Amino acid sequence: MSLVEAPAQRSRLGSSADRVGLAALLIATACLVAIGGKWVSGPLTSVVVLVLLAVIVGVIVLAWRGGTEARRLLAPYGLLKPGMLWLGLFFLAPLWSLLRISLSTKESRFDINYNFSWAFENYQTAFTEFGGQFSRAFLYAGIATVLTILIGYPLAYVIAFRGGKYKNVLLGLVVVPFFTSYLIRTIAWSTILSDEGVVVSFVKGLGLVPVLEALQIMDNGRLLNTPAAVIGGLTYNFLPFMLLPIYVSLEKIDIGLVNAANDLYSTNSAAFRKVVFPLSMPGVFAGTLLTFIPAAGDFVNAQFLGNPNTTMIGNSIQDQFLRQNNYPVASAMAAVLMVSIAALVLLYTRLFGTEDLA
Amino acid sequence: MQEVIKLEGVSKRYGDFVALHETSFSIGHGEFFAMLGPSGCGKTTTLKMIAGFEQPTTGKVLLDGADVSDVPPYRRNVNTVFQQYALFPHMSVFDNVAFGPRSKKKDESQVRKDVMEMLEIVRLADFAQRKPSQLSGGQQQRVALARALVNYPSALLLDEPLAALDLKLREAMQIELKRIQREVEISFIFVTHDQHEALTMSDRIAVMSAGHVEQIGTPEEIYRNPSSLFVAGFIGSANLLAGTVESSSGTEYVVALKSGAKVKVQHHGSTFSTGEKVSLMLRPEALNPVAGSRGDGLSLGGTLTDRVYEGATDRLVVRLTDGTEVVCLTDSDAHVAHKVVGDSVTINWQPQAGYLLAGWPEVSGSTTTNVDQIEAAL
Q: Tell me the domain boundaries of chain A.
A: 3-102, 125-352
Q: What is the pLDDT of residue A7?
A: 55
CA nearest to A270 within chain B = B103
B206 pLDDT band, cuts 50/70/90, is: very high
pLDDT tier, A358 (very low <50, low <70, confident <90, very high otherwise): very low
CA of A267: which chain B residue's CA is closest?
Answer: B74
Interface check for A254 against chain B (CB to CB < 8 A): the answer is yes
- Residue A270's pLDDT is 94
Burial class (CB in 10 A: 0-12, 13-18, 19+), B334: middle
Q: Is A51 left (phi over 0), alpha (psi -120 to 50) or beta?
A: alpha
Among A255, A265, A272, most B C-beta atoms within 10 A, so best to mutate, is: A265
Residue contact B80–A263, C-beta within 8 A: yes
* Contact at CB, A257 and B132, closer than 8 angstroms: no
Q: Is residue B72 within 8 angstroms of chain A, CB to CB?
A: yes
For residue B131, list chain A residues with Cβ-Cβ distance below 8 A: 358
Cα nearest neighbour of A260 on chain B? B86
**pLDDT per residue as tens digits for the range A3-15:** 445 555 556 777 7
Which residues does chain B have within 8 Å of residue A254's beta carbon, measured at their own beta carbons? Answer: 84, 86
Which chain B residues are closer than 8 Å to A279 by Cβ? 89-90
Query: pLDDT tens across A221-277, in order?
Result: 888 999 999 999 999 999 999 999 999 999 999 999 999 999 999 999 999 999 999
Class at the top of the CATH hierarchy for domain A125-352: mainly alpha
Region of poorest pLDDT, from A212-221, A325-334, B95-104: A212-221
Cα gap A197→A45, rounded to integer Å: 58
| Cβ contacts of B151 on chain A, cutoff 8 Å | 264-265
Q: Does A262 touch chain B (CB under 8 A)?
A: yes
Residue of A nearest to B88 (CA): A257
Ranges assigned E (strand) in chain A = 104-105, 115-116
d(CA B276, CA B359): 8
Q: What is B3-224's CATH number, 3.40.50.2300, 3.40.50.300, 1.10.569.10, 3.60.9.10? A: 3.40.50.300
Distance, in angstroms, between A272 CA and closest chain B CA? 12
Chain segment B156-179, per-residue pLDDT in tens: 999 988 888 888 888 888 888 888
Query: Which among A260, A270, A357 has CB closest to B86?
Result: A260
**In the structure, what pLDDT confidence band is assigned to residue B276 with cuts at 50, 70 and 90?**
confident
Examine the predicted complex and report whether its ipTM is higher than 0.90: no
Exposed / middle / buried, residue A255 (Cβ in 10 Å: 0-12, 13-18, 19+): exposed
Q: How far apart are CA A51 and CA A64, in angstroms?
A: 20
Task: Name, in order, each residue with C-beta under 8 angstroms of B78's C-beta and a sequence gap of 6 or more.
Answer: B5, B50, B51, B52, B63, B153, B154, B155, B156, B157
Q: For residues B265 and B280, is the Cβ–Cβ distance under 8 A?
A: yes
**pLDDT attached to residue B337:** 67
Query: What confidence score (pLDDT) does residue A357 get?
Result: 44
Contact B73 A263 (CB under 8 A): yes
Across the interface, do A256 and B84 touch by the CB < 8 Å criterion? yes
Q: Supply angle C-alpha A298, A301, A307, rounded to 5.
A: 115
Q: Alpha-carbon distance A346 to A85, whole Å?
A: 26
Cα separation, A254 vs A115, in Å, equals 61
Give the minimum alpha-carbon distance from B209 to chain A in angstroms, rounded to a whole number. Answer: 25
What is the predicted pLDDT for the residue at A283? 93
Decide if B262 contacts B256 (C-beta within 8 A): yes
Nearest to B299 by CA among B280, B272, B277: B280
Nearest CA in chain B to A259: B53
Does residue B79 belong to the interface with chain A, where contact is any CB pair within 8 Å?
A: yes
| Region of poorest pLDDT, from A313-322, B186-195, B288-297 | B288-297
Residue B89 has its nearest CB partner, among A262, A265, A358, at: A358
What is residue A15's predicted lDDT score, i.e. its pLDDT?
79
Q: Between A145 and B352, whose confidence is greater?
A: A145
Q: Please report the number of interchain residue pairs, chain A to chain B, with beta-carbon separation below 8 angstroms.
A: 64
The CATH label, of 1.10.3720.10, 2.60.120.10, 3.40.50.2300, 2.40.50.100, for the domain at B238-377 is 2.40.50.100
B181 touches B201 (CB < 8 A): no
Please give the residue of chain B at the shortest CA–CA distance from A276: B88
Which pLDDT belongs to residue B295? 67
B99 and chain A in contact, CB less than 8 A: yes
A275 at the B interface (CB within 8 A)?
A: yes
Calpha distance B115→B150 (Å, rounded): 6
How many Å apart are CA B234 and CA B193, to the nearest integer? 9
CB of B147 within 8 A of CB of B99?
yes
Q: Does A255 touch chain B (CB under 8 A)?
A: no
What average pLDDT does this structure show over A216-220? 86
What is the average pLDDT across B218-238?
88
Q: Closest CB to B90: pick one of A254, A270, A357.
A: A357
pLDDT for the residue A4: 47
- Cα–Cα distance list, A324 to A98, A297, A330, A348 (Å): 17, 19, 9, 35
CB contacts of B155 in chain A (<8 Å) are none
The closest of A123, A155, A138, A317 to A231, measured between CA atoms, is A138
The pTM score is 0.80
Is A278 an 8 Å CB contact of chain B?
yes
**How confident is the model at residue B291, as a pLDDT?**
67
- What pLDDT score does B265 carry? 84
The Cα–Cα gap between A209 and A221 comes to: 6
Confidence at residue B176, expressed as pLDDT on a 0 to 100 scale: 87
Tell me how far the alpha carbon of residue B303 is from its chain's centroid. 33
- Please name the residues between 31 and 60 in chain B that touch chain A, using a CB distance below 8 Å: 51-53
In this structure, are residues B277 and B244 in contact, taking their beta carbons and an 8 Å threshold?
yes
Domain boundaries, chain B: 3-224, 238-377
Mean pLDDT computed over every residue of chain B: 87
Residues of A in contact with B88 (CB under 8 A): 257, 260-261, 275
pLDDT at residue A1 above 50? no
Query: From CA A331, how far away is CA A123, in angstroms rounded?
Result: 9
Element (H, E) at B316: strand B313-320
- Answer whether residue A129 shows pLDDT above 50: yes
Helix A327-352 vs helix A121-162: crossing angle, to nearest 10: 40
Host H or E run for residue B78? strand B78-81
Inter-chain contact A263–B132, Cβ cutoff 8 Å? no
Residue B75: its chain A contacts at CB < 8 A?
265
Q: What is the C-alpha separation between B93 and B129, in angstroms, rounded?
A: 6
Q: Which amino acid, A332?
A: A
Confidence of residue B33 (pLDDT cuts 50, 70, 90): very high
- pLDDT band per the 50, 70, 90 thresholds, residue A304: very high
pLDDT score for B1: 61
**Higher-pLDDT residue of A338, A115:** A338
B167's enclosing H/E stretch is helix B167-184
- Least confident range from A101-110, A290-299, A307-316, B178-187: namely A101-110
Type of residue at A122: N
For residue A274, which residues of chain B lie inside 8 Å, CB to CB? 99
pLDDT tens digits along B282-318 = 888 888 877 666 667 788 888 888 888 887 788 888 8
**Mean pLDDT of the residues in chain A:** 89
CB pair distance less than 8 Å for A265 and B100:
yes
Set of chain B residues whose Cβ sits within 8 Å of the Cβ of A270: 103
CA angle A124, A331, A333 (to 5 degrees): 50
